[in-house]
């Protein structure tokens, strides 16, 4: 797959596709052999570098997300969470008049991981899964991001 920008980060490569200055696809650990940083996207690499240096440097970046009305509501709620803020699947579901499994499904289909911080949604009894995975590298990335943001799970 081709990306407009590929950045090496502490959690592996991050591939990003942009429409102007709006991200519409962020892929963690994309299947690419090398990172590329075109000059016109240096601003985004600087944002990523700043966040990975200090999680308090989090700020919402413009995104262009394709999804159902429900997914848009969930993703919008996630973008309101600041660095180090977490919410359980149940809490978010209650606030949106939904169910925890539906929240999990919307997180699973999130096209802009990291920029739409689904890693900040946790299970009532711990970390929970990420993108439909409860084992392997994805949960390790979620744990790393939460720890980086000062969250103890």
Which residues have a catalytic role annotated?
Answer: 118
Q: From CA 19, how far away is CA 56, in angstroms rounded?
A: 26
Task: List the structure tokens of 13.
Answer: 């490569």
- How far CA 54 is from CA of 14, 34, 47, in Å, comes to 17, 25, 11
Of 79, 64, 57, 61, nearest in space to 149 by CA: 57
User: 22-47 burial, b if ≥16 CB within 10 A, otherwise e?
Assistant: ebbbbbbebeeeebebeeebeebbeb
Assign 3-state DSSP to the chain and report helix, strand, coil percentages, each to 5. Answer: 40, 20, 40
Beta strands in the chain (DSSP E): 5-9, 12-19, 22-28, 87-88, 121-122
């Amino acid at each position: 797959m081709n990306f407009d920008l590929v950045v090496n980060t502490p959690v592996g490569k991050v591939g990003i596709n942009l429409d102007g200055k709006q991200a519409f696809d962020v892929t963690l650990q994309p299947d690419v052999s090398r990172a590329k940083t075109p000059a016109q996207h240096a601003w985004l690499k600087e944002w990523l570098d700043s966040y990975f240096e200090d999680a308090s440097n989090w700020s919402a970046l413009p995104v262009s997300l394709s999804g159902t009305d429900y997914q848009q509501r969930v993703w919008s709620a996630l973008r309101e969470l600041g660095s180090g803020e977490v919410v359980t699947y149940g809490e978010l579901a209650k606030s949106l008049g939904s169910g925890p499994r539906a929240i999990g499904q919307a997180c699973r289909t999130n096209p802009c991981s990291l920029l739409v911080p689904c890693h900040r949604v946790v299970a009532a009894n711990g970390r929970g899964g990420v993108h439909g995975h409860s084992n392997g590298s994805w949960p390790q990335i979620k744990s790393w991001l939460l720890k980086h943001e000062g969250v103890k799970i």
